[in-house]
Amino acid sequence: MMFRLLACLMLAWHLSAAGVDIVRFPRPEFDGDRRFDYPLQLLQLALSKTGTEYRIQTAEFPMNQERQVLEIEAGRTLDVGPIPSSAERETRLLPIRIPVNKGMLGWRLGLVRKGDKDLVAGVRTLDDLKGVRLAQGHEWPDTNILRANGIDVITAPKYEVLFKMLEGKRFDYFPRSVMEIWDEQAINAESLEVEPRLALHYVYDSYFMVNRKNTKLAEDIRQGLEKAIADGSFDKLFLQHFGERLRKARLDKRTVIELRNPLLTPETPSNRPELWYDHKRGR
């Protein structure tokens, strides 16, 4: 461990001396966790369009969402992360208010146990949904969003534990984003399936967030993302990662339950439609 730390410090010193800025980014929470693949590539794309030479390094150890916020806030082991937004987090950190996932973090399908999809077959309204046992991560903003809509939510402190809890019948429906659910189902293919009929929707996404004092990095990320939006490379990367998953989701064929999000801030860029994916137009 000491040797690895010394090697990292030596590499950081060498790159600093060479005029390269190091940007520390979260490590996936466990082997097979693919949730950071796309935001890492999007950050690389944005930083490549700046006048500064950056090198992205992943953190030495995995962290849950709240630990990522704490590390960025303290300026310790992370410089930037794709942080699911809330008013509290936008106060503690400096957000670049361009939705990383074009709003698709707020489109939710459900993981259910194989053979148990009939448990939600009769759900058509929010009142129906209130009778379903569902779960989220303890520190996820989604938990507060669901509870604000009158839904009881079972929680767990660790992301990977939730899949075991679903398998063990601790709850029956696990809302996951359209972007995440297919990889997660593939990892748990023997026991879980994607429920085919229902979707939840609320206005919600992640922003890249940095320490509030790190204004140069924030501005470079913002300018890089704006350039990627203007030249089409943002949308191209997004569709490369998620185009097939969005088609598989068949959102236009599902019963959609709209939920309000009380965590939105007035600065949410809802007046910029180019930042939000429109499933009816396919972009």
Whether the Cβ atoms of residue 141 and residue 66 lie closer than 8 Å to each other: no
Average pLDDT of the chain to the nearest whole number: 92
Q: pTM value?
A: 0.89
Whether the Cβ atoms of residue 42 and residue 117 lie closer than 8 Å to each other: no
Residues 6-59: tens digit of each pLDDT: 445 444 544 444 578 999 999 998 888 899 999 999 999 999 999 899 999 999
| Residue type for position 261 | N
Q: In this structure, are strands 54-58 and 21-25 parallel, antiparallel, or unpaired?
A: parallel
Q: Which stretches within 82-175 are classed as H helix? A: 87-92, 126-129, 141-148, 159-167
Residues 137-169: tens digit of each pLDDT: 999 999 999 999 999 999 999 999 999 999 999
Q: DSSP secondary structure string, 68-123?
A: HHHHHHHTSS-SEEEEEP-HHHHHHSEEE-S-TTTTGGGEEEEEEETT-GGGGTT-
Q: Tell the burial category of 226 from Cβ atoms under 10 Å away from its Cβ (0-12, 13-18, 19+).
A: middle
Task: Report the C-alpha gap between 74 and 23 in whole angstroms.
Answer: 15
Residue 164, phi then psi, degrees to nearest 5: -65, -40
